[in-house]
Amino acid sequence: MNLLLRANLIFGMGFLLIAAASGYLCRAVLEADAEREQMAKAGLMLESAQAIRNYTSTEIVPLLDQQLKTDFLPQSIPFYAATQNFLKLRERYPQYSYKEATLNPTNPRDRAADWEADIVQRFRNDDKVHELSGVRDTPMGLSLYMARPIRAEPECLGCHSRPSAAPAPLIARYGANNGFGWQAHEIVGAQVVSVPLATIALNVDRSFVEVMCIIAGGLAIFWLGINAILYFLCLRPLKRIARIAETLSLGQASTEDFPIRGPVEITGLGASFNRMRKSLDKALKLLQGQPL
């Protein structure tokens, strides 16, 4: 096995280790960055939903105050406005889902599932917790979620305190059994945004392939560069020295001198061989009785 092949085997094993370590670290970094990015988007969506709720309750409801006494307009309900706004947003971000999960909602659509009810209870048990996030298992696979509490504001009590105080159109549409008994500033639900981890994994996989292609390309260029340097600085001069030595061993004393240009090690080797050659010439002349 020649020197270049041995060197390439060593370099190859080293590059494989570097690529494996780089791939592992890159994957971990990309996954962490992707999760942070998705959570940042989820937070922005929650802020948008909260802004729509506030706008509806402070700007829209006062304008419809008289009409709401005789007609039920779901567009005047902050919960409904936030949910509908998110449905429009979901046209661009279909992987996200949003729900105003409520323990005792007027609209059955908003009733909290078991895992959502657990989140609401955690908010109710600890007033210092203003946001929760994590990963949950779903029939479609793991999903990342972010949740924030929903408090019953004083203006909400006009519809949710007692059935007798609620607008008649609301009772006519949803009945008098659900969505009542709320207390001012009580945590009644949670805004929940979810995104499947499979979506994050797809983005990570795409970025990971791109990064690994760049790393592989860089290592390949570096490998070729190492081979070129090794060949021109070491192997080619050594081959020339070997060729000259082979010629001398066959008795052709008139062959060229050993090279004395290149790296210090090669020039030192060439100079040593040249001195040895001169010493051999002198020794041969002495044995043949020739003048030096």
Question: Does residue 52 belong to any structural domain of this protein?
Answer: yes
Domain assignment of residue 86, given as a range: 25-197
Structure tokens belonging to residue 104: 């005792």
Q: How many domains does the chain have?
A: 1
Q: What does the CA dihedral 79, 80, 81, 84 come to, rounded to 10 degrees? A: 120
Question: Does residue 277 belong to any structural domain of this protein?
Answer: no
Question: Does residue 146 belong to any structural domain of this protein?
Answer: yes
Question: Does residue 242 belong to any structural domain of this protein?
Answer: no
Taking alpha carbons only, the member of 237, 235, 166, 186 closest to residue 6 is 235
pLDDT, one tens digit per residue, over 168-212 is: 878 888 888 888 888 888 999 999 999 888 877 888 888 888 888
Question: Does residue 10 belong to any structural domain of this protein?
Answer: no
What proportions of the chain, in percent to the nearest 5, are helix, strand and coil?
A: 65, 10, 25
Taking alpha carbons only, the member of 177, 189, 160, 181 closest to residue 102 is 189
Question: Does residue 260 belong to any structural domain of this protein?
Answer: no
pLDDT, one tens digit per residue, over 231-242 is: 887 778 878 877
| End-to-end Cα, the chain, rounded Å | 43
Q: What is the pTM of this model?
A: 0.64
Average pLDDT over residues 54-59: 84
- In order, the DSSP letters of 61-123 are GGGGTTGGGT---GGG-HHHHHHHHHHHHHTT-TT-EEEEEESS-SSGGGBPPHHHHHHHHHH
Q: 7 vs 33, which has greater pLDDT? A: 33
Question: Does residue 232 belong to any structural domain of this protein?
Answer: no
- CA 135 to chain CA centroid, nearest Å: 16
Return d(Cα 190, Cα 242) in angstroms, integer. 81
Average pLDDT over residues 16-22: 87
Q: Is 104 helix (H, G, I), strand (E, B) or coil?
A: coil
Are 119 and 101 spatial neighbours (Cβ–Cβ below 8 Å)?
A: yes
Question: Does residue 234 belong to any structural domain of this protein?
Answer: no
Alpha helices in 111-156 (DSSP H): 114-125
**Amino acid in position 170:** L
